[in-house]
Amino acid sequence: MVISAGFAEAGEEGRTRQEELVRVCRATGMRLVGPNCMGIVNTDPAVRLNATFAPVLPPPGRVGFLSQSGALGLAVMEYANQLGLGLSTFVSVGNKADVSGNDLLNYWEEDPNTDVILLYLESFGNPRKFSRIARRASRRKPIVAVKSGRTGSGVRATASHTGALVAASDATVDALFRQAGVIRTDSLEEMFDVAVLLAHQPVPAGPRVAIVTNAGGPGILCADACEAEGLQVPVLSPATQGRLRKLLPAHAAVSNPVDLIASAPAEHYREAVAAVGSDPGVDAVVVIFVPPLVTQAEGVAQAIVDAVGQWPQKKPVLTVFMSARGVPELLRRSELRIPSYAFPESAARALAHAVRYGQWRSRPLEPPARPEGVRRDEALARVATAVERGAGWLLPGEAEALLRCYGIPLVAQRFAPTPEDAGEAADRLGGPVALKVVAPGLVHKTEVGGVLLDLGGRQEVERAAREMQARVQSAGFPVEGFLVQEMAPPGLEMIVGVASDRHFGPVVACGAGGVLVELLRDVSLRLAPLSRRDAAEMLRELKTFPLLRGYRGSPPCDTDVLEDLLVRVGALADDVPQVVELDLNPVRVYQRGVRVLDARIRVELVRPPTWIARR
């Protein structure tokens, strides 16, 4: 372990020094933690290692914690002490010259002394490897992560709709965590709110929450927060309400939230918590206590502990003592270790994270789908030929041929180098056609009059092409030709695309399409390749998904075929890493089938990752 700074974080000279340090360690068969870190802690009684500058050590527990920030890690250990949250191990990884977060995930997955894994991350060395390890480890142990750097500052400029959607935020990190079952929190405080719940309580079996309170306002706030987070606050069963009616005053509320009223003694808490926790329609219980003059918090805490012991099956219970966080001490000392929160909203958010994790873990593991009829070797050969002439956008015919290798057909179209050729192509296609300009660097063709619809006949198309050529050239874009396409019937317009992130690899995007795609920003992302469930979930995450299901009398769309298109695009992106941007926009979805109206694909030579990135 190397605590000293002055390595890769200090410039080129330091980077050389760090590389030499790694070479020395590898030559002697050692692993390296750091450099530029704050050390490690192992609270196992058989080890009792403290190799940090921490003034206060955390109590022994079953939570493993990784921090990329050394100073933050020391503050976190102090905070864990205040919460009574015990750690099994703490590792400050610093520059991650050798031992990485992926190595520690592998370790904690098998560590019998660790039940919950916490991560504070500033960067990823190999996100795709992280995804594979985390997806496997999350099946056994919850992983809770805070990833800093949520803004888009410094993100690579992109030239396509898909690239703009992916680069505009850290939605790619969200996609990675969502696929891998990692619980992402917005702050360290929220991470510890989730950790104290999962470290000491069972994972919820479902989203149904019962609330017991002695004050109406906090109970309402808790119910609102639960429903805002996607939880349910159901009406309690008649049997449970009848049991509560026999116990409580006539003006108490017994439906849910259960309002015991301010004068409720500890005994009422004991009976009410025992009743709602025994209701088969309840998956978790939140107990709120606002201290009145007559009832002591310690007595209520003991009543809660006694009541939970009477439940016929284990369910998570959370408390909110609205006086001081973590009070009373009995909740930490008891065998049940019931978490306590300062406010109802904090408890609701922590519980919602745990519920979503439980739902993810309950689903069978589904491998990436492999669509039928794929011609991977042909696709690789076509892209290799295109890359030989240099990086850039594929010609329309090249893009069409590559997409057909993965069973993704475009509408019937012809490429025409000149206006005269465009008129001839329109004759060959027959019927009304669409005319689109082909101009390098031009992304938003409609903004310069580069798209015309419902043109008919050779003469009209040829005249329109000449006028289009003049407009586009006057806007500063050289015209290489025209694309003449058959007109497709109206349908719901979507966008499907790929943007290759230099850290995460190919990212598949799906959202509301057409000319308003970047304005609406209704998009869902996943890392390629996709499983069938990934594709289905992407569609259902969209705000516009009701339109696909049929909205206000409109017919439902063929979501099965759209999901298949997503899987095929994901397979292409995973198989052909030279494809760095791909736009299918718009994709028109019908009651039966989909049609791709426009496709743009950018390719470039991809170099293999360095050894440190492969970790």
291 Cα distance to chain centroid: 39
CB atoms inside a 10 Å sphere around CB 515: 15
Closest CA to 452 of 443, 442, 464: 464
Residue 60 dihedral angles phi and psi, to the nearest 5°? -60, 140
Are 516 and 602 part of one and the same domain? Answer: yes
Are 194 and 216 part of one and the same domain? Answer: no
Residue 306 lies in a domain: yes
Buried b / exposed e along 516-553 (16+ C-beta atoms within 10 A): ebeeeebbbbbbbbbbbebbbbbbebbebbebbeeeee
Q: Can you tell me the distance from the alpha carbon of 499 to that of 571, in angstroms, rounded to the nearest whole number? A: 13
DSSP structure string for 292-303: -SSS-HHHHHHH
Asked whether residue 80 carries a pLDDT value surpassing 80, the answer given is yes
pLDDT digit string, tens, across residues 514-534? 766 666 788 999 999 999 999
Are 354 and 439 part of one and the same domain? Answer: no
CB atoms inside a 10 Å sphere around CB 402: 25
Contact 299, 333 (CB under 8 A): no
pLDDT digit string, tens, across residues 550-583? 988 889 999 999 999 999 999 999 999 999 999 9
Residue 124, classed as helix, strand or coil, is coil
Are 451 and 428 part of one and the same domain? Answer: yes
Are 129 and 183 part of one and the same domain? Answer: yes
> For position 155, what pLDDT does the model report?
41
**Sign of the CA dihedral 326, 329, 333, 336?**
negative
Contact 318, 338 (CB under 8 A): yes
Name which of 161-165, 314-318, 397-401, 484-488 the model is least confident about: 161-165
574 Cα distance to chain centroid: 19
Helix (H) or strand (E) holding 51: strand 49-52
Helix (H) or strand (E) holding 569: helix 559-575
Given 199, 220, 242, the domain boundary residue is: 199
Burial class (CB in 10 A: 0-12, 13-18, 19+), 370: exposed
> For position 608, what pLDDT does the model report?
58
pTM beyond 0.85: yes
Are 42 and 190 part of one and the same domain? Answer: yes
Residue 185 lies in a domain: yes
Quick check: bond before 218 cis, omega within 30? no
Name which of 63-77, 149-163, 164-178, 219-233 the model is least confident about: 149-163
Asked whether residue 611 carries a pLDDT value surpassing 80, the answer given is no
Asked whether residue 614 carries a pLDDT value surpassing 70, the answer given is no
> For position 325, what pLDDT does the model report?
47
> For position 477, what pLDDT does the model report?
94
Residue 194: band (very low, low, confident or very high) from pLDDT cuts 50, 70, 90: very high
Mode of pairing for the β-strands spanning 284-289 and 209-213: parallel
Are 481 and 496 part of one and the same domain? Answer: no
Identify the DSSP state of 554: P
Are 328 and 276 part of one and the same domain? Answer: yes
pLDDT digit string, tens, across residues 178-190? 999 999 999 999 9
Quick check: bond before 234 cis, omega within 30? no
pLDDT digit string, tens, across residues 143-176? 999 988 766 543 443 445 455 555 545 788 999 9
What are the respective helix, strand and coil percentages of the chain, to the nearest 5?
40, 20, 40
CATH number at residue 142: 3.40.50.261
> For position 156, what pLDDT does the model report?
41
Residue 98, classed as helix, strand or coil, is coil
511, two tokens: 């959202």
Helix (H) or strand (E) holding 505: strand 505-512
Residue 156, classed as helix, strand or coil, is coil
Average pLDDT, the chain: 91
Given 487, 520, 553, the domain boundary residue is: 487
Q: Can you tell me the distance from the alpha carbon of 316 to that of 590, in angstroms, rounded to the nearest whole number? A: 45
Given 487, 502, 526, the domain boundary residue is: 487
Instruction: Kindly state the average pLDDT of the residues 86-113.
Output: 96
425 Cα distance to chain centroid: 45
Spatial CB neighbours of 412, under 8 Å, sequence gap ≥ 6: 429, 485, 486
Name which of 151-155, 166-170, 255-259, 544-548 the model is least confident about: 151-155
Residue 177 lies in a domain: yes
569, two tokens: 């695009």
CATH number at residue 521: 3.30.470.20
Mode of pairing for the β-strands spanning 413-416 and 258-259: unpaired
Closest CA to 488 of 403, 404, 588, 592: 588
> For position 168, what pLDDT does the model report?
42
> For position 152, what pLDDT does the model report?
54
Crossing angle, helix 344-362 and helix 216-228, to 10 degrees?
30
Contact 434, 453 (CB under 8 A): yes
> For position 443, what pLDDT does the model report?
78
Are 113 and 232 part of one and the same domain? Answer: no
Q: Can you tell me the distance from the alpha carbon of 348 to that of 204, in angstroms, rounded to the nearest whole number? A: 13
> For position 315, what pLDDT does the model report?
97
Q: Can you tell me the distance from the alpha carbon of 594 to that of 559, in angstroms, rounded to the nearest whole number? A: 9
> For position 515, what pLDDT does the model report?
66
> For position 613, what pLDDT does the model report?
47
Residue 406 lies in a domain: no
Contact 524, 509 (CB under 8 A): yes
Residue 396 lies in a domain: no
DSSP β-bridge partners for residue 438: 481
Residue 327: band (very low, low, confident or very high) from pLDDT cuts 50, 70, 90: low
547, two tokens: 């339109």
Residue 499, classed as helix, strand or coil, is strand
In angstroms and rounded to an integer, the radius of gyration of the C-alpha atoms of the chain is 29
Are 23 and 135 part of one and the same domain? Answer: yes
Residue 1 lies in a domain: no
Count of domains in the chain? 4
Closest CA to 295 of 332, 333, 319, 321: 321
Q: Can you tell me the distance from the alpha carbon of 191 to that of 22, in angstroms, rounded to the nearest whole number? A: 33
- Is pLDDT larger for residue 230 or for residue 457? 230
Asked whether residue 90 carries a pLDDT value surpassing 90, the answer given is yes
Are 504 and 452 part of one and the same domain? Answer: no
pLDDT digit string, tens, across residues 104-145? 999 999 999 999 999 999 888 888 899 999 999 999 999 999
> For position 609, what pLDDT does the model report?
55
Task: Give residue 241's domain range.
Answer: 209-362
Instruction: Kindly state the average pLDDT of the residues 462-487.
Output: 95
Given its phi and psi angles, is residue 42 left (phi above 0), alpha (psi -120 to 50 degrees) or beta?
beta
Residue 114 lies in a domain: yes
CATH number at residue 418: 3.30.1490.20
Which residue in this structure is represented by tokens 């494809």? Answer: 579
Are 355 and 232 part of one and the same domain? Answer: yes
> For position 442, what pLDDT does the model report?
85
Q: Can you tell me the distance from the alpha carbon of 393 to that of 440, in angstroms, rounded to the nearest whole number? A: 8
Residue 439 lies in a domain: yes
CB atoms inside a 10 Å sphere around CB 111: 17
